Amino acid sequence: MSDPAPSPPVPSEAEREELRRHGILLTSMEELYNWGRSHSVWPLQFGLACCAIEMIAASMARFDIARFGSEVFRPSPRQADLLIVSGTVTKKMAPSVVRLWNQMPEPKYCIAMGACAISGGPFKQGYNVLKGIDRFVPVDIYIPGCPPRPEALLHGLMQLQEKIRGQAISGPGAPRHLQAATACDYPVPEFGEHDLVPPKNPAVWQPPVLVRKEGA
């Protein structure tokens, strides 16, 4: 009866930093893969309202989204990794947004930029305004603001990079495209006689349960 061979100690971040200073780079496949992915997030060139102007500003020289590897705004969803929903999503536009999302290949991410894309924003009481794109599309990052400044968009992008770097290649924490059981097709709502049919995708979004006081 002998103890199993002890696994080699995982070098700590400080030790790796010390080795890096001596020109030795220690990494893992997962880390390298996610490092590459997180620094080449190509957004879809797609704007809906005034938030799109801020998105354009973020891509220009002053704010320079190229510092984060996301300057390549793709005109085709087939080549894009990131859907920035920048503006009010009307119910007439919502099926097109979901269709664009479906046309993007995995791995793909979605940023809801601004109050409108999150919840309908100041237009929430409108009969033709979708009360948040997360009713149909899984949103990774929400950026509040009306509209958010370019710095906020860059911060959201950095948060998304953080999220990508934290994703495992295998196991339960793997992203959607590495999990065979997950469907990558999201149902596109149809135009109904009074509203979109269905008005939301319950597999993606359920209203949060808020416990309210009596009489509130």
Partner 1 sequence: METAEEIRDRILARFPGAAVAVVANPGPGAQHSLLLGAAQAAEIARFLRDDPGLRLDFCSNVTGVDWLDREVAEAARPAAPDPAGAPAKGAEAKATRLQPGFLEVVYHLYSVALKHGPVVLRLRTGNRKDEVTLPSLTPIWRSCEFQEREVFDLFGVTFAGHPDLRRILMWDEFKDHPMRKDYVEPDDYEWEPTPHGDLLPKARRHYPAAAKEAPAP
**Footprint of partner 1 on this chain (CB under 8 A)?**
92, 125, 127-128, 131, 191-195, 199-200, 207-214
Nearer to partner 1, 107 or 144 (CB): 144
d(Cα 69, Cα 65) in Å, to the nearest integer?
7
**What is the β-pairing status of strands 190-191 and 82-86?**
unpaired
d(Cα 103, Cα 66) in Å, to the nearest integer?
24
Question: Helix or strand or coil: residue 191?
Answer: strand
Q: How far is the CB of 124 from partner 1 (least distance, A)?
A: 8
Q: How far is the CB of 132 from partner 1 (least distance, A)?
A: 8
Q: How far is the CB of 94 from partner 1 (least distance, A)?
A: 11
Nearer to partner 1, 3 or 193 (CB): 193
Q: How far is the CB of 184 from partner 1 (least distance, A)?
A: 26
Nearer to partner 1, 10 or 127 (CB): 127
d(Cα 64, Cα 56) in Å, to the nearest integer?
10
Say which DSSP state 29 is in.
H
Nearer to partner 1, 128 or 182 (CB): 128
Do residues 48 and 89 make contact, with C-beta atoms less than 8 angstroms apart? yes
